[in-house]
Amino acid sequence: MESTRNRLIELLETSNHDYVSGQFLSDKLKISRSAIWKHMKELEKDGYLIEGVRRKGYRIVKSPDKVSENTLHWGLKTNWLGKNIIHKTTLDSTQNTAHDAARENAEHGTIVIADEQTKGKGRMDRFWHSTKHKGIWMSIILRPSILPVAAPQLTLLTATALADAISEETTAAPKIKWPNDIMINNKKTAGILTELQAEQDRIHYVIVGIGINVNHSFSEIPETLQHKATSIKRETETEYPIVPFIQCILQHFEQTYDRYMTEGFSPIRTKWESYGYKIGEKIKIRTNYKVSEAIFRGIAEDGALIAETEEGIQTIYSGEVEWN
Ligand code: BTN
């Protein structure tokens, strides 16, 4: 049923707002014309505006931008990611719901998404502001067969997928600040929180949490963060439909993840560096209570930051970096 509806939307959308005859749809989908009509009614319930004209057929006048399991599924061009979607209007944190679902054996590629979060989690136990309908707040459940030590590569991989999707869907030029912040015009617009449940040599599951400030106006960004956080709308003066944006992220994520699984981290590293924030520029690193000036040279095969100091090349694994 669902894939028929997906095909139906695809056929209507490729017609570029021209009418598509009921007979054509019924031949293509191998279902009766009255079944086509019923599908149209279902689409309307989810916010599609469809015009049906006798002897001409149907056309989509307007696609919905209401996030739901259905609207996300329809038109989603992935093979395994997002086949199972859990959408809620309000959650404390999509991470918590994703952990619960994973413990109950939710399949690899399950998505948990909310219109708002009341206790959004950032890295280092920080609070993540998740205003209703203004951004993308979602968690992806993965069951990768990699060693737990390689899990940080999933964060870097996710960052490249986000940067690709932002470049495709918007006019912004995203940069990735090591390890996992997406910056636009030197301000943070998205973050990634990777949590895993693992034994020493085996991952049970990984939850990749993604938060993106999309359609916040300036005043909707908390005052205390306005000097360092932003939204894509604020930087590009354009409001973006959320549903195709999420679908685009999922498509890029799946492609990038599949590539990582077949080719390893090397192509991801090249892509990451093409978006790298301040590569070749001065940064400061903190080692043994000492702050040294360094040049940020890129990332290592294991995802560590490579910095060149007076004492030579150093690799940094966690946040002892000052960017300004
Ligand atoms: C960070 O940069 O500190 C990471 C932010 C991650 C926020 C996302 S929003 C969806 C998911 N649910 C959460 O509670 N956090 C992540």
Q: What is the CATH number of the domain that holds 110?
A: 3.30.930.10
Predicted confidence (pLDDT) per residue in 162-220, tens digit:
999 999 999 999 999 998 899 999 999 999 999 999 998 999 999 999 999 999 999 99
If asked whether residues 153 and 224 sit together in one domain, one would say: yes
> How far apart, in whole angstroms, are the C-alpha atoms of residue 243 and residue 218?
22
HSE-CB of 19 using CA atoms within 13 angstroms: 11
Higher pLDDT, 53 or 311: 53
> Which secondary-structure segment (H or E) carries 266?
helix 266-275
Helix and strand numbers, DSSP H then E, in the chain: 9, 14
CATH number at residue 317: 2.30.30
Q: Are 292 and 310 in contact (CB under 8 A)?
A: yes
Q: Are 141 and 110 in contact (CB under 8 A)?
A: yes
Q: What is the pLDDT of residue 2?
A: 58
Distance from Cα 294 to the centre of ligand 1, integer Å:
29
If asked whether residues 167 and 101 sit together in one domain, one would say: yes
Assign 101 a pLDDT band (cuts: 50, 70, 90): very high
The pair phi, psi for residue 295, each rounded to 5°, is -110, 130
Assign 14 a pLDDT band (cuts: 50, 70, 90): confident
CATH number at residue 27: 1.10.10.10
Q: What is the pLDDT of residue 47?
A: 83
Residue 22's domain comprises: 2-62
Question: Could you tell which of 95, 206, 216 is best to mutate to test the pocket of ligand 1, judged by most ligand atoms within 8 Å of the CB?
Answer: 95
Predicted confidence (pLDDT) per residue in 122-146, tens digit:
998 999 999 999 999 999 999 999 9
Mean pLDDT of 10-26: 87
Q: What is the pLDDT of residue 318?
A: 72
If asked whether residues 234 and 212 sit together in one domain, one would say: yes
**Which tokens belong to 307?**
């910095």
322: helix, strand or coil: strand
**Which tokens belong to 269?**
């590293």
HSE-CB of 79 using CA atoms within 13 angstroms: 5
288 pLDDT higher than 80? no
Evaluate: CB of 131 within 6 angstroms of ligand 1. Answer: no
If asked whether residues 22 and 139 sit together in one domain, one would say: no
Domain boundary among the residues 19, 34, 62 is at 62
Mean pLDDT of 95-124: 97
Distance from Cα 121 to the centre of ligand 1, integer Å:
5
**Which tokens belong to 107?**
């399949």
Domain boundary among the residues 245, 260, 275 is at 275
Assign 269 a pLDDT band (cuts: 50, 70, 90): very high
If asked whether residues 234 and 139 sit together in one domain, one would say: yes
If asked whether residues 181 and 33 sit together in one domain, one would say: no
Q: What is the pLDDT of residue 13?
A: 80
> Which secondary-structure segment (H or E) carries 6?
helix 2-14
Q: What is the pLDDT of residue 186?
A: 96
Domain boundary among the residues 15, 33, 62 is at 62
Whose CA is closest to 312, among 278, 277, 287? Answer: 287
For the chain, what percent of residues have pLDDT higher than 70?
99
Q: What is the pLDDT of residue 10?
A: 83
**Which tokens belong to 91?**
């959650």
Distance from Cα 93 to the centre of ligand 1, integer Å:
8
Distance from Cα 192 to the centre of ligand 1, integer Å:
6
Q: What is the pLDDT of residue 78?
A: 96
Ligand 1, atom 2: nearest CA belongs to which residue? 191
Average pLDDT, the chain: 93
**Is residue 188 marked as binding?**
yes
1 pLDDT higher than 60? no
> How far apart, in whole angstroms, are the C-alpha atoms of residue 297 and residue 318?
16
Closest ligand 1 atom to 191 CA? 2
Assign 161 a pLDDT band (cuts: 50, 70, 90): very high
Distance from Cα 130 to the centre of ligand 1, integer Å:
9
If asked whether residues 120 and 6 sit together in one domain, one would say: no
Closest ligand 1 atom to 181 CA? 2
**Is residue 23 marked as binding?**
no
How many structural domains does the chain have?
Answer: 3
If asked whether residues 190 and 312 sit together in one domain, one would say: no
Higher pLDDT, 91 or 286: 91
If asked whether residues 170 and 205 sit together in one domain, one would say: yes
If asked whether residues 150 and 32 sit together in one domain, one would say: no
> How far apart, in whole angstroms, are the C-alpha atoms of residue 23 and residue 33?
7
Ligand 1, atom 15: nearest CA belongs to which residue? 121
If asked whether residues 197 and 290 sit together in one domain, one would say: no
If asked whether residues 39 and 179 sit together in one domain, one would say: no
Q: Distance of CA 180 to CAs 151, 259, 303, 305, 306, Å?
A: 13, 19, 11, 12, 15
